[in-house]
Amino acid sequence: MFDDFQDHGKHVPVHAAKLLFDAAAENDAVALEILNRQGAELGKSATAVIHKLGMEKDTFDVVLAGSLLTRGDRGWIRSKVEKAVANVAPNATIVTLATEPVVGALWSAMDADGHTVSQDVYDKMRTFREFEHIKQTTR
C-alpha cells in the first residue's frame, strides 16, 4: 500500500483507520499486528531522535500527533512508543496532542490575517477529532 501511495498516487480510503481500530477492538490478529508494528516503528523513530539530540537524561515531552495516535488508539500504538522511549529517556513523558494540527494551523492563519477567533469558534474547532467530522472527498 505504501508503494502504491508513493509511486502511483493511490490513496488509502479515509475510513481505513477507523476500520482498523474497529477490527483491533474485536481482537483481530492482523489489525493488532499492524497497530503494534506501527507503535514499535514510531518508538524507534522517537528513540533515534532522542539519541541524535543527546536527550537521554533530559526531562521533556514526546508529543504524539496524527490520526492514528489521536483517534481511536486504545494503547496499542502508544504503549509501544512509551516502552521504547522509557528505555532510552526515563524522564520523558508521552503526551497525546489534544487538538488536530490542522486546527492549530487554521488558528495561526486566521491570527496572521488579523482575524480574532471567538471563544465559540475556538471551542467548536477543538472538537474536530472524530471520523464523522471528516468530509469525504474524491481524488
Give the model confidence (pLDDT) of 39-93 as tens digits. 999 999 999 999 999 999 999 999 998 777 877 788 899 999 999 999 999 999 9
Q: 82 and 120 share a domain?
A: no
Q: Which residues pair with 93 in a beta bridge?
A: 61
Helices (H), 72-117: 78-88, 101-112
| Domain range for 103 | 99-132
- Convert the pLDDT of each residue in 117-136 to its tens digit: 888 887 877 776 554 544 54
The total of other beta-carbon atoms located within 10 Å of residue 110's CB is: 14
**Would 137 be classed as within a structural domain?**
no
Q: Which grid coordinates are listed for 45?
A: 523513530
Q: Please say if the pLDDT value at position 35 is more than 60.
A: yes
At residue 9, the pLDDT reads 76
CATH of the domain at 81: 3.30.420.40
